[in-house]
Structure 1
Amino acid sequence: MANDMSSTIDLAVAAIRGADPARFGDPTPCPEFTVAALIDHMASGMLLAERSAKREVHAWDPDSSPVLGGVDEKDWAQACAAQAAATAAAWDDPAAWEGDTHMAQTPMPAAMIGSLMTAEFALHAWDLAVATGQPLDVTPEIGQAVLDGVTPVAQMGRDGGWFGAEVPVPDGASAWERALAASGRDPARA
């Protein structure tokens, strides 16, 4: 599980590094996010995940920019990479996956948070890659890990508005394509 988390963090960082700041105002597949807002959301999610792994309870303001606030846009990739390394290191500890912890102030099983964030990093890496015209190389193992993270929360995500309507995929679609589709993303956009 820690390897999957680390791999999806690597996908996210690669997509962030490949995003030209000249495109930060461009739209993304997430209607509420420009490229810049998506990168900020990804960086904030990495900090939130690190705090969860470390059993830290924090009030969370979704309108704040705790990682990138005050950082020049040309330095965002480096700031994100530093936060990503801290997040990966925190989840690399097997104890991070055991028992209960908090997502911000909400108590949850640690393994559930780890699985959700593993999926979150990969899905938003795809969003960013699509928005900025980058390739995204997702292995079958990562695709399965993301599908495993998305499937249990897909309906809740649709009901809560953080996933779109499920997109139909053909028989034989890969686990990654099914994960994208379950989260309301059209795999054909890649």
Structure 2
Amino acid sequence: MDMSSTLDLAVRAIRGADPARFGDPTPCPEFTVAALIDHMASGMRLAENSARRVVVAWDPGSSPVLGGLDEKDWAQACADQADATAAAWADPAAWEGDAHMAETPMPAAVIGSLMTAEFALHAWDLAVATGQRLDVAPDVGRAVLDGVTPVAQMGRDGGWYGPEVPVGDGASDWERALAASGRDPARS
């Protein structure tokens, strides 16, 4: 599984988001649609920097990818950033050793797994907020579950995941990943 699959999900959701809905709320209470797209684009840049072993001071109030662009240009800017991020993580060496997430050192494989999950989860958030359908292949769902499971409790404790949502025994890996991250898979 490579990161490009979840980046593709994110870009499809971003391309499908009508700028007329950029002020709408999302399942992430702290983000409007526009703020979520900006967060996703910024995450893509962070992930690219991590893969390339670029350590940067990160200002969460800045918009390193979308700042200064007209909203009509956001989708293409995100697609371009996603391509750069996917290319950086396509190198097997990107997954080895240690890297930094902004200025925080950690194993590169952990960063890769976290960000792989992050892009898919936020693609779902954006799809739900903008009335889109998000089709997730079983292998992608499994990779996202693998990324969410080890950090789910830490995410709940840190406030970046909500309480786990119960799902039935027949739930897919994707549905289980959504539920573990505090998202209700039945929400549309």
Q: Could you say which TM-score interval applies, normalised by the shorter chain? A: over 0.9
Residue 72 of structure 1 and its aligned partner are, at CA, apart by: 0.2
Structure 2: how far apart are the matches of 1:163 and 1:100? 25
Deviations 1:159-179 (A, max 9, x none): 000000000001110000000
Structure 1: how far apart are the matches of 2:113 and 2:25? 27
Name the structure 1 match of 2:80: 82
Structure 2: how far apart are the matches of 1:171 and 1:31? 29
Structure 2: how far apart are the matches of 1:80 and 1:179? 24
Deviations 1:1-32 (A, max 9, x none): 32xx1000000000000000000000000000
Q: Percent identity?
A: 86
Structure 1: how far apart are the matches of 2:56 and 2:120? 24
SS at match of 2:100: strand
Residue 91 of structure 1 and its aligned partner are, at CA, apart by: 0.3
Deviations 1:87-121 (A, max 9, x none): 00000001000111000011110010000000000
SS at match of 1:187: coil
Alignment of 1:21-170 (within 5 A): 21-170=19-168
Structure 1's consecutive aligned runs of 4 or more residues displaced over 3 angstroms after TM superposition are none
Structure 2: how far apart are the matches of 1:92 and 1:188? 33
How many equivalent pairs are there? Answer: 188
Normalised by the length of structure 1, the TM-score is: 0.98
Structure 2: how far apart are the matches of 1:96 and 1:15? 26
1:160 maps to amino acid: G
Structure 2: how far apart are the matches of 1:11 and 1:93? 20
Deviations 1:120-176 (A, max 9, x none): 000000000000000101011000000000000000000000000000001110000
Structure 2 unmatched runs, 5+: none
Structure 2: how far apart are the matches of 1:183 and 1:63? 24
